[in-house]
Structure 1
Amino acid sequence: MIGARVRQFRTARGLTMSELADRAGVAKSYLSAIERDLQTNPSIQFIEKIANVLDVDINALLKDEAATNSSDETAALDEEWQKLIAEAMESGVSKEEFKDFLEYNKWKLKQK
């Protein structure tokens, strides 16, 4: 359900429900109802606001990607990566710095 995906992305980014609601400009009570699947049909405007703050594509909130994965390990890996990315963002690592690191790492592997 969409509520579980919102909660997953929110926690992976280290946001509280209050922080997400404030940043997205939505009511915390409504966000809570979504996450607990009491409200299961949010408006597209709500989804867009939440997706923007979580920095995810709207489809990530609408589609159940875990259902398409063939193993639980893949889903767990995705969550682990999300947490790692959230930690990097919180520590101030920019996208450009991360891209530079990846390029350096590729270069380093070629040198071996």
Structure 2
Amino acid sequence: MGEPLHNIDNVIKAADIMVDDQGLHFSPRKVTVSTSGLVPQLRRYLQESNCAIAVSLNATTDEVRNWIMPINRKYKLDLLLETLREELSLKHKYKVLFEYVMLEGIND
């Protein structure tokens, strides 16, 4: 399906419609956008949306994540996690879902 945050403007608009009283009126905690970790767009999403975020990690080291997820060559794990810490420091009840797909012999 692709990376949602490549289309950040429309993702934010769609999320806003889903949670708006005049829209679908979903709870922001029930609307989750999944990302591989485009850091600038992730930062913007966290600043502009109250909806949930899921981050696909799929590895615990940059070496493995570089191989599984090429986006990691541009936005390393440290930068990704630091961005989450910075942006969520004031959102005390906000939770991040971390996604991890186990691949036998690669990241297990």
Q: TM-score by structure 1 length? A: 0.23
Structure that is richer in helix per residue: 1
Question: Which protein shows a greater Rg?
Answer: 1
Q: TM-score by structure 2 length? A: 0.23
